[in-house]
Structure 1
Amino acid sequence: MDIKQYISSGILELYVYGALSEKENAEVYKALKEHPEIEEEVKEIEKSLMQLSAATAPYNPESVFNRIKEKLSFTDKETDVIPMTSKRTNWPAFIGWAASVALLIGLFIQFNKNKELRQQVVESQIEQTLLEGKINVAEEDLSKAKTLLSVLRDKDILQIPLQAQKVDPSAYAAVYWDKEKQTAYIDVAGLPTPPPGKVYQVWSLKLDPLTPTSLGILDKFTEDETKIFSLTNTNESEAFGITLEPEGGSESPTLEQLYTLGVVES
């Protein structure tokens, strides 16, 4: 995120004025929690808004606070000894000052409550957004599961089991190849999680002479719970193999890291 550009975009002012949508409010709230510069800018905008309100509104907590503070602050002249003509307590004045202080405290309590309430509203909006996101993800997973199930049940789909190789005798995988749609579904549930900095790469192979063609890397191995990946395959494949390669993949397979291999039955 470009912090300066984000601040200058004007979205923070709209956030403070309450003119954003629920989704936009949630996004700004997340940004100010992650970036102290944005949070500080929001505070400055709120401060400026309060100053503007103090200059235009006939009554507000800030002006009340300043007036009471001025009256409660004794100057050098006020500290001079003034002869008292009566020892009787000035109860009306005392009650007036007490009421002013109580009003000031009440205003600040109300201000803090409003601030907490706004924060609760934003947090509630974030939770709602996350919930909607989870629902969308669940719907996408369900659609993907239905698609995969239809592929597995299609009698015209070629099923090629990939057997374990020397690097990991317990590994296994499978390819479901839809030649008509030129799509290969790679099931790698039987492969271990790749170490940091490594990815699995799927290869289409011609056997005579041996000619490998990369179908792609499985860089979302950890995130994908189904462990079934869809890759385009326009080749006349005679076999499939999966190797472990550096991030980004390789131009040719690293045979020492060949995990599984399977031949297409003619």
Structure 2
Amino acid sequence: MINIKEYIESGVLEDYLSGNVSEQERREVECLSKIYPEIKTELNLLGEAIERHAFAHRVAPPTALKDKIMAQLEFADELPETAQTEESEESETDETPVIALNSRQPSFQFGWLAAASVVALIGTAVYFNARVETLNGTLAQQADELRQKTELIANINNADNQFVTLKGVEKSPNSAVRVVWNTKTQEVQLNVLSLPAPDAAKQYQLWALVGGKPVDLGVFDVNNAMQKMKAIPQAEAFAVTLEKKGGSPTPHLEELYVMGKVAG
């Protein structure tokens, strides 16, 4: 299914209105505008905006243009007398209607071409403005991701951190999870090194063993990101089980995947 918001923001509608699209893209815009009212509405609004802007900034043709054209058209007075006589005789026998030239047509065409040029320029400007906004949004997102990664690295390099590697048990010997536990702030972070992808109805859950009893530290997803879990003041070991989605109040040991003891 098409993402209507992304399609509208892509700039293809502005390109369509300015004629800067391929035949396939033109057919695509016309087809989608019939299927999705949002696209049709946006297309109409853009067209009206461009038309208003074009006529508000239309360029008048040079004042001497009309006189120059008329000078080229008014050649009848310069015909020799014999030619005028022949023309008069032919007009009496020839019943073919003569269509008068509209002296205003050239200036109208010039004004229309000027307006069309303005429309094309506006379409190009709108297109590039949309591209700049998209680029700025991407740069801002990348800057935020970089900031988060920098903070994460700083937190991991904290001297109070204790690293505990949870290794796979008999059920899943190739699995591995790394836990970063700050004994001073009590913060716990988790990074999945290797775990089988769970079913949609299930989710992995982290546990801390305190006095031989399991303490829930929250559920997490299988990805490469460092995930923040619930804080714990003390722990003897950490373990991961596969539970129903959202977690369980007590672990199902038959679904134990990894486990690791805290050093010291």
Give the TM interval when normalised to the shorter protein.
Answer: 0.5 to 0.7
1:110 partner amino acid = V
Give the alignment partner of residue 176 of structure 1, picking from 174, 180, 190: 180
After superposition, what is the alpha-carbon deviation per residue over 1:210-263, rounded to whole angstroms, capped at 9, x for unaligned?
x322101113x43xx4x4333233354232111223332222223232110123
Residue by residue over 1:45-69, the C-alpha shift from the partner in whole angstroms, topping out at 9 and shown as x without a partner, is 5566689889xx88869xxxxxxxx
Residue 189 of structure 1 aligns to a residue whose secondary structure is: strand
The CA RMSD measured in Å over matched residues stands at 4.1
For residues 72-111 of structure 1, the C-alpha deviation after alignment (integer angstroms, 9 at most, x for no partner) is xxxxxxxxxxxx78989778x3553244234324423431
Q: 1:204 to 1:197 in 2, by over 3 A?
A: same
State the 1:148 CA deviation.
0.9
Residue of 92, 108, 132 corresponding to 1:100: 108
> Contact (CA 8 Å) 1:204, 1:235: kept in 2 or not?
no
Structure 1 residues 54-203: aligned runs within 5 Å: 93-94=101-102, 96-150=104-158, 154=159, 156-203=160-207
Kept in 1: contact 2:205–2:218 (CA 8 A): yes
Instruction: Structure 2 unaligned segments of length 5 or more: list them.
Output: 1-5, 14-32, 60-90
Code of the aligned partner of 1:175: V
How much does 1:124 deviate?
1.9
- Partner of 2:232, secondary structure, is coil
Q: Which residue of 2 aligns with 1:216?
A: 218
Q: Cα offset for 1:197?
A: 4.5
- Quote the offset at 1:181 in angstroms: 1.1
Judged with a 3 Å threshold, the aligned counterparts in structure 2 of structure 1 residues 163 and 106 are, in CA distance, closer, same or farther, namely: same
Question: 1:142 Cα deviation (Å)?
Answer: 2.0
- Taking a change above 3 Å as real, the CA distance of residues 39 and 136 of structure 1, as seen in their structure-2 partners, is same
| TM, length-normalised to structure 2 | 0.60
For 1:58 and 1:116, locate their aligned partners in 2 and report how far apart those are by CA, in whole Å.
18
The structural deviation recorded for 1:207 is 5.4
The separation in 2 between residues aligned to 1:51 and 1:265, in whole angstroms, is 73
Partner of 1:66: none
1:232 to 220, 230, 233: 230
Distance change >3 Å, CA 263–CA 249, structure 1 → 2: same
Indicate how the Cα distance of structure 1 residues 119 and 50 shifts in structure 2: closer, same or farther if over 3 A, else same: closer
Question: What is the SS of the residue equivalent to 1:122?
Answer: helix
Residue 171 of structure 1 deviates from its aligned partner by 1.2
Q: Is the CA contact 1:207–1:239 (under 8 Å) kept in the aligned structure 2?
A: no
Read off the aligned partner of 1:228 and give its amino acid letter: M
Quote the Cα distance in structure 2 between the aligned partners of 1:59 and 1:241.
Answer: 71
| Matched letter for residue 192 of structure 2 | V
Q: Hey, what does 1:22 align to over in structure 2?
A: none
- Cα distance, 1:103–1:58 mapped onto 2, change above 3 Å: closer
Q: The residue matched to 1:130 in structure 2 has which SS?
A: helix
- Is the contact between residue 241 and residue 261 of structure 1 (CA under 8 Å) also seen in structure 2? yes
Q: How many residues align?
A: 205
Post-superposition offset of 1:168: 1.2
Partner Cα distance (1:180, 1:103) in 2: 76
TM-score scaled by structure 1?
A: 0.59
Instruction: Name the CA distance, whole Å, in 1 between partners of 2:146 and 2:260.
Output: 33
* C-alpha distance 157-110 of structure 1, shift in aligned 2 (>3 A): closer
2:234 equivalent to 1:250 = no
1:259 maps to which of 238, 245, 257: 257
